[in-house]
Each structure stands twice: as structure tokens, then as C-alpha cells.
Structure 1
Amino acid sequence: MRSNANKNIIYSIILLLLVAIVYLYRQNQQKPVEEMVEKTSGKVTLAGNTMGTTYNINYLDTEERDFTSSIDSLLLVFNQSLSTYIPDSELSQFNKGDTLFFGLPYFLPILQSSKVIYEITEGAFDPTVGPLVNLWGFGPEGPQLKDSVNINTILELVGFDKIVFDSASVRKIKPGMYLDFSAIAKGYGVDVVADFLMDKGIENLLVEIGGELVARGVNEKGELWKVGINRPEELGRADALYSIVALKDQGMATSGNYRNYYESGGIKISHTINPATGRPVNHNLLSATVLANDCMTADAYATALMVMGTDKAIELQKNQGLFEIFLIYSDSTGQLKSYASEGIKPFLSFPQD
């Protein structure tokens, strides 16, 4: 009897080991998106998830090194600083209180860039506008048209000039204010990943997070990296291109209103809120693409231009000369038109060319 019992125990142990081996094998065969890696003759392609969206990274490396784990770890720390969706992130802690002493290296640089662009755009870019975006129904509660009393009350808590900071901390002049870096953080994340790769000796790369990009060097063909700009059509295919841009050591970001909106009483309500009025913008600019030295700057300006509209966007770019733009807008008859600043024209092409 004891011999049979011992055999049953041995069989049970062997069965458990086999189950464990099969499980581990399947886990390795079914890698999550974060671990997808492709290598082709010195070109490495990585894909994964971050910031509620996806990232795609291409770089040339004769050693074909896989930096997936390091990049994922880097982005985890980045989000722990600047995400509004992580309850204990530095940004969430600041929004719940009035003062934050920096513990991670990302909060101060994004404040510094935000202040510069807030001032240059005369408030069109404003990371304190988040509560108004939520008020108009682009937050968790969904579409709800709000009355002017509520809007005016929230407007009192909007204005990046009411946020003060130094090298050690940031605080609110007016209690109850709320910071949201969603219009600049993805671009900043792109720069952080690109800088990491360059520190590893990677000279040729293309980093993209949620549609925001930075390119350095050339692709595997020895040409400038080329990226597409979508047609700004509500019902068009997501991969339908209006134009193509060759990036020469630049960051690029595109912002648009043509898909993120809802209708109320026959009126389209855009997700782009004017921080000055507290209300959705209403103009003919459909898409704003910005090229700048870094993606964080491009990301913020793309948002600001969508607030300003076509004419003011063109005027700002001409006066500043700090970035290049490609705008798609609708004319008085509803036809799509475009405008390209002088610096972007040599790098621009169109699918029908």
C-alpha cells in the first residue's frame, strides 16, 4: 500500500512540473506588446504600451541591442512623476495638495517648458485648463454641456501664472488648482526615451509615443526618417495620409479636433478648450503639425495652435521662428486647404506626388 501511495505522490509531482513547464512555455510564446522586438540587419524595432497609448521605436545598432526592459522601466518612473491616472504620482500628490517638493527629475523641466510656451502663446497653452476640459465632458463622466456659471467658477482656477516653482518645489498661489500635462507629457516622454538611446551610443533613431515623434540621424536606407500626417476627416481611415514629412533631427507633434468631439443640440463640441474663455474653440483649423528641436516643445505648440486658429497660428510662427508648422484647415466652402511654413516646405511631400 505504501508503495502505491509513494507512486501516486511521484506522479502528482511530475504532473505539476509538466503543467508548470507548459505554462512557462506559453508565457514565453505569447509575449505582451511591451516585449515585442524585431531585429533586421542592424535595425531594431520595439513596440509597447505607455501613457494609455502605444510606443513604437526604431533604431540602428550594429550590436542589435534590445533596450525594452530599460525603456519600460524608464517610462514607469516617468509616469510615476507626471501621470494624472496614478493616485500617488508626484502630479497627483500636487493636485491633492498645494505644494510639492520634487523627488524625481521630470517635474521641474516640464514646468520650465510650460512656463515659456504659456508666455509666448499668451496663455493659449495652459496646463491648468484640465478642469475645464472635464467640465465640458471630455473627462470620465462623459459629454455634458455646462452652464456659464460653472464655467466662470472654474475659470478662476485657470492660469499657469498662478503656479510658482523653483529648483526644489512647486506650489499653487490659489488653492484648488489642478495641473494636467496631457498636452505636453507624451512629447516629453519621447524626448526622454530618445535621450536614453543616444546616451547608449545610438545615433540613428525614430521614437514615437501616441503619434508624437522625434527623429535623429537616418534610417536603414541612409535617408531621413519619413512620417505621415493624417487626413483630418471625421469618417476617414486612420491610415489615410494627407502629406509626408522628412524629419531632420527634429521632434514632431500633431493636434486636431476632427475626431475628438461630440454633438449637443446639433452643435459640435470640440475637445480643445480655450483657456481664456473656458469654452470649446470654434474655427476652421482642423489639424496643426509642429516641427521643433524637441518633441516636448512641438507637442505643446501643436495644442496652442489648435486653440489659436489658423490666422493666429501662422502669425505666431512667423513672429517667433522657433518652430515650423503645417496646418490643414477648411475654407469657406468646406474644402480642405493647407499651409506650410517656409522651413518645412523642402521636407514635405504628398502621396499623390
Structure 2
Amino acid sequence: MLEIIRRHSFFIAFFTLFLVIFFYESIEGAVIERISGFTMGTSYEIQLVDIPTSTNLEELSGGIAELLLELDREVFSTYAEDSELSKFNRHGINSPYAVSNDLLAVLRLSKEIAIESGGVFDVTIGPVVNLWGFGPGRFEQGSLLPSDNAIKNAMTNVGVENLILNIANSEISKTKSIKIDLSGIAKGYAVDQVAVYLESHGVTNYFIEIGGEIKVSGLKPGNLDWVPAIETPLDGPVKVYEVLTNRGEKIALAGSGDYRNFFELDGVRYSHEIDPRTGKPVSDVLAAAFVLDDSAARADALATALMVLGLEESRRFIERNNLKAFLIYRSESAEFNHYVSQDFDGYINRAF
């Protein structure tokens, strides 16, 4: 008899996610201003130091909330029917569709990383994700697992090559009935835009986190580095796996993993990470992937790509492209081990 042992879904709006990457506070008595709220179906927290006298916390909080609401509900949401993305998903084939700079920038980066990763990062994979029950909808409600025919049919409208960008005219179009889902890159882009907003108001020392994707800049009070930490990839209470330091630099850190959004059926584990090459969940020893980059959006997308590639392909991809990356994988003894690229290693905090 089929028995579902465990299932987790983090795609329901208005619920807070456990953070893949979280803030590790180590200074006592420091005054750090904080802003928090909800966006894109998850939570955000922003920590600020040395706010200029020309602005104030209330003004920054309101401006950030307005910015995130616009990016979510008006641009990237697949739940809001009137968002740009939802309208494009309903838009006809081979018909130009005018878009904002934000949507165009994210789609452009998405296509670049799709090419760079050999197609394993694909923002058109949403219908197949839904088919496996990890999205807002599902094609075959009567079956616990999709049939090969159902997967084949869903895959006919998958492929970022069917998305056409006209950068000069700020227009996009599609050559097939593709449906785009930007959940693997939009939060990272939102982090980047909050950073731009803060810097435009003279704030250069900050820690921004949206749904586990972060960007940090400058220093904390006392000229101390910001100290983010990587979580052990276990479905349970948060446990630190590795502590990092930003070295006073502006860096973005994003992660992806298979340990909080999966189901098990008859002893087989099915991850929400779907391989666009096969239309099936990834099955690999790789449990979590983290990427450091100047751009949180790029780090967000690359972390997803690494999870789809699996451990061995990811290592080759990282070395070939000189990525700053940290991979946690399950060893034969079921314990965790890790691989760290040379450039990432310099951000590990040896003091902890």
C-alpha cells in the first residue's frame, strides 16, 4: 500500500520559512536598527547601522515595504492575477508584451544563467513542478506520482529558449505556451533592490535577508564583521553547520537545499528540485548548495542550478566557472560532509 511518510511545502503565502541562511549575533549591547515584515510568501529582516541624520528608520521602513510590495504583487507574483508575470503567462504566443525594467532584468539574468548552467536553471519548469505537487496546482489529482506520459506532456511547454527578449523595446514574447515562475531568483533580486534603496539613502552598513537570501555590507558597531551562518541541512531545529564573515565587504549569499520541501513515498524521497532535462525530481547525495556573489539574484539562481546538477557535476561547474560555493552532501555513512571552493573558503569564520 502506498504510504506518504512526510511532506513539506514552502510555497504557501503568508507563512514564514525557516531560513537556510540566518543571522548569527555575537556582539553584546550593540545598537542595530531592525526592520522586518512579510513579502513573497516569506519573511524579511533588515539590520542597519549608522543611519544618516538626513533620514530615519520609519521612512526607510515605509520605503522598503512599498518597494517589496511592488516587486511582489505588481511584478513577480504568480498568485496575484494582475501582476506583470501572471498577465504574461496568460498572454498569447508570438505577441509582444511590454514589461518593466525589473521583470526584464530578471528574465535576462534567468536566460543568461540557463545558458551558463546548460539548461538546469529554467524558469519555465513551473508546470512540471506543479505536476509533482510542489507548486500551487497539480495536473493529475487522482495519482500520487505523475505518469511518464503526464511528464512528457508537461515538458512540451518547458524551455527558456521559448522566451524571447527584446531588450531595446522592453518587450518579451514566447514561441510556446510557457508559464514562467521566478521563485528561484526573485527573492534574490528583491534583496539586491533593497540594497540599492538603502545605499541611495546613505546607508552602507546593513544586513538584508529575504526568505533566506541575504546581502551584507560594511560593518556592525565596534567595526566588527557581519557574521552570517549556514544551517545544517536537517528537517528539524536550526543547527549551525558553518559560520561565515563578510570581511567588511559587500557580499550576497544564497542557498538551496532538498531538506525542507520534499515528500517520501514507499521509502523513496522526492525533492522539490526538478531537473529540466528529465522532468523528474533530483536524486543525489547533495543536500544543500550555497553561493557567494556580488548579486543576490545571481547567487539565488546559481544555488538552485547546483542542486539540480548534483555533487559531482556541481564541483566541475564550480571549478570551471570559478564560483564561490559551498556544498553539503551526505556521505556513505549518512553523515554530512562538505566541499568548499577556494574563493569561498576565505569567508569562513575560523573563530567559531
Do these two structures clear the TM 0.5 threshold for a shared fold by scoring above it? yes
SS in 2 for 1:246: coil
Contact 1:126 1:275 in 2 (8 A): yes
Contact 2:99 2:172 in 1 (8 A): no
Do residues 82 (structure 1) and 67 (structure 2) align? no
* Corresponding residue number in structure 2 for 1:187: 188
SS in 1 for 2:227: strand
Q: Deviations for 1:261-312, whole angstroms, at most 9, x for unmatched residues?
A: 0112221111000000000000000010110111000000000000001111
| Greater Cα shift, 206-215 or 55-64 | 55-64
CA deviation after TM superposition for structure 1 residue 100, in Å: 5.5
* Corresponding residue number in structure 2 for 1:124: 120
Contact 2:207 2:215 in 1 (8 A): yes
Distance 1:157 1:317 in 2: 29
* Corresponding residue number in structure 2 for 1:27: none
Give the letter aligned to residue 77 of structure 1. Answer: E
Distance 1:132 1:54 in 2: 26
Contact 1:90 1:100 in 2 (8 A): no
Distance 2:76 2:90 in 1: 14
Distance 1:348 1:50 in 2: 30
Contact 1:126 1:159 in 2 (8 A): yes
* Corresponding residue number in structure 2 for 1:256: 257
Larger RCO (CA within 8 A; separation ≥ 6): 2
Q: Which has the larger radius of gyration?
A: 1
* Corresponding residue number in structure 2 for 1:151: 151
Greater helix share, 1 or 2? Answer: 1
Give the letter aligned to residue 53 of structure 1. Answer: T
Q: TM-score, normalised by structure 2?
A: 0.84
Do residues 73 (structure 1) and 66 (structure 2) align? yes
Give the letter aligned to residue 166 of structure 1. Answer: N
Distance 1:169 1:159 in 2: 19
Give the letter aligned to residue 169 of structure 1. Answer: E
CA deviation after TM superposition for structure 1 residue 103, in Å: 4.5
Give the letter aligned to residue 307 of structure 1. Answer: V
Give ranges in structure 1 of 5+ residues lacking alignment.
1-32, 34-39
Identity %: 35
SS in 1 for 2:269: strand
* Corresponding residue number in structure 2 for 1:92: 86
Alignment of 1:304-343 (within 5 A): 304-321=305-322, 323-343=323-343
Distance 2:329 2:336 in 1: 6
CA deviation after TM superposition for structure 1 residue 46, in Å: 0.4
* Corresponding residue number in structure 2 for 1:112: 108
Distance 2:32 2:338 in 1: 34
Give the letter aligned to residue 340 of structure 1. Answer: V
Q: 1:293 to 1:263 in 2, by over 3 A?
A: same
* Corresponding residue number in structure 2 for 1:14: none
SS in 2 for 1:309: helix
* Corresponding residue number in structure 2 for 1:244: 243
Give the letter aligned to residue 276 of structure 1. Answer: R
2:43 aligned to 34, 48, 54, which one?
54
